[in-house]
Every structure is written in C-alpha cells, then in structure tokens.
Amino acid sequence: ILNVEQSPQSLHVQEGDSTNFTCSFPSSNFYALHWYRWETAKSPEALFVMTLNGDEKKKGRISATLNTKEGYSYLYIKGSQPEDSATYLCAFALKTSYDKVIFGPGTSLSVIP
C-alpha cells in the first residue's frame, strides 16, 4: 500500500512567523508531487506541481522544494498571515498511473493574529 504522510498534523503560529511542513512519499515510481491549499468551505486550490528532483517553486510568500531521491517535499510560508490559515495537502502521482494521485492527510495551519 502506497502511503503519503504529512507532518505535523496541525500547527498554530503567530502572525508574521515563518513556518514549514513536510510531505513524505515513496521514492520509487515517482511522477509528480502536488501541493494544495484547502480553506474551510471552499474548494482545494492548486499551489504547485513539481516533477523534477531539486525543483523549487514559489508563489508569493509560499515556496516548495522537492527531493525525489529521498521522497520528501517541504512547503514554506514566510511571514504567515491569518489568510494563510487552511489545510495544506500534498498528493503524489505514480509514474505507472500518473492519472491518479494519492493524497496525504494534510497539515492544518492556524495563523493567530
């Protein structure tokens, strides 16, 4: 059974703090790694898709890195704002069935004003 893990499960940070969390996935049969942000009562929103080992992507204050050899990705948020409060999901796509993604359980972030 393929497993995608995320840590921590949840965290609370003060406004202005920077934070990061981890997604771990199987290092073999890798095709792509997706990050989504999911705010309560809204649709999950795609943040990044990464395919190459060493990839780094950035969108405003949010950035992500990818290490396919050891099977992990980090998501960083610089200077967290209350509007960053959401659940952050990563999803792993297999080379042999890249159509499908396997989701991690998510990291729930609360940014306290």
Partner 1 sequence: GAVVSQHPSRVICKSGTSVKIECRSLDFQATTMFWYRQFPKQSLMLMATSNEGSKATYEQGVEKDKFLINHASLTLSTLTVASAHPEDSSFYICSARRRLGYEQYFGPGTRLTVT
User: Any contact of residue 102 with partner 1 (CB under 8 A)?
Assistant: yes
- Nearest to partner 1 of 50, 111 (CB atom): 50
Q: What count of residues does the chain have?
A: 113
The site for partner 1, by CB under 8 A, has a size of 22
Burial of 52 (0-12, 13-18, 19+ CB in 10 A): exposed
User: Any contact of residue 42 with partner 1 (CB under 8 A)?
Assistant: yes
Among 13, 20, 44, 72, binds partner 1 (CB under 8 A): 44
User: Any contact of residue 100 with partner 1 (CB under 8 A)?
Assistant: yes
CB of 32 to partner 1, least distance (A): 6
- Nearest to partner 1 of 78, 102 (CB atom): 102
Q: Which of residues 52-81 bind partner 1 (CB under 8 A)?
A: none
The Cα 35–Cα 18 span in angstroms is 18
Q: Is 82 helix (H, G, I), strand (E, B) or coil?
A: helix
- Nearest to partner 1 of 64, 101 (CB atom): 101
The Cα 11–Cα 107 span in angstroms is 8
**Rg of the chain in Å (alpha carbons):** 14
Q: Is 85 helix (H, G, I), strand (E, B) or coil?
A: coil
